[in-house]
Amino acid sequence: MHSTWSDNPQFYLFLPPPVSAKPKVRILLKLLHGWDGKRKRDPLNTMIGVYLLQCPKGAQLDPNDETISVARAVRQPLNDSDYRARLVEATFLPNSEAVITIDTLAPSKNPYLIVPATFGREKTGSFSLEVTSNVEIFLLEGISAFSASLHMQ
């Protein structure tokens, strides 16, 4: 894993308990304008993907406060051993979209961390991220000085 992976955008996914049904979450990452030429020149390294990680520290839901403060969404440090211990799901595809559909997430006060990425390093560009679920969820972008563009995984 390249050291710039921690520069990637980070998004906190909250599944606050209690829930009315077994949570089923769909995460859709889409490339926006400007990727066609990059993908033709370097199809392997411009594959896009999504990592879904457990997030044991950082932002947390307060059971007495139903609002989630953006100030709590501080970016998480990402290193290789930590990533491997917390990985829930990952997928990479040579398409303009990557999707994860998962039904094994447990509702918790601790969030999950979504990290969009490219397969190769230093591949940047515009993207959109859509997260839907059959239960109530909250999604916040991690606070960062970095722009929201894809970087090396």
Domain tally for the chain?
1
The whole-number pLDDT of residue 127 equals 92
151 domain residue, yes or no: no
The whole-number pLDDT of residue 148 equals 43
Return the DSSP state at 39: H
148 domain residue, yes or no: no
Token pair recorded at residue 65: 């406060």
105 domain residue, yes or no: yes
Q: Tell me the per-residue pLDDT of 68-82, one tens digit each, with 9 for 90 and over.
A: 554 455 666 666 666
The whole-number pLDDT of residue 76 equals 64
The whole-number pLDDT of residue 99 equals 92
Helix (H) or strand (E) holding 86: helix 80-86
The whole-number pLDDT of residue 70 equals 47
Q: Tell me the per-residue pLDDT of 12-24, one tens digit each, with 9 for 90 and over.
A: 898 888 888 999 9
133 domain residue, yes or no: yes
Facing residues of 152 across strands?
118
Contact criterion met (CB below 8 Å) for 13 and 106 = no
User: Which regions of the chain does DSSP assign to beta strands (E)?
Assistant: 11-14, 25-31, 48-54, 87-93, 97-102, 112-118, 127-133, 138-141
Q: How many CA atoms lie within 13 A of 106 on its CB side?
A: 7
Tens of each residue's pLDDT in the chain, 153 residues = 556 777 788 888 988 888 889 999 999 999 988 888 888 999 999 999 898 888 755 555 554 555 555 445 566 666 666 666 677 888 888 889 999 999 999 898 788 889 898 988 888 889 999 999 999 998 888 765 344 444 444
pTM of structure = 0.80
Tell me how far apart the alpha carbons of residues 146 and 15 are, in angstroms, rounded to a whole number. Answer: 26
CATH number for the domain harbouring residue 22: 2.60.120.380
User: 58 lies in which domain range?
Assistant: 3-141
Tell me how far apart the alpha carbons of residues 47 and 146 are, in angstroms, rounded to a whole number. Answer: 21
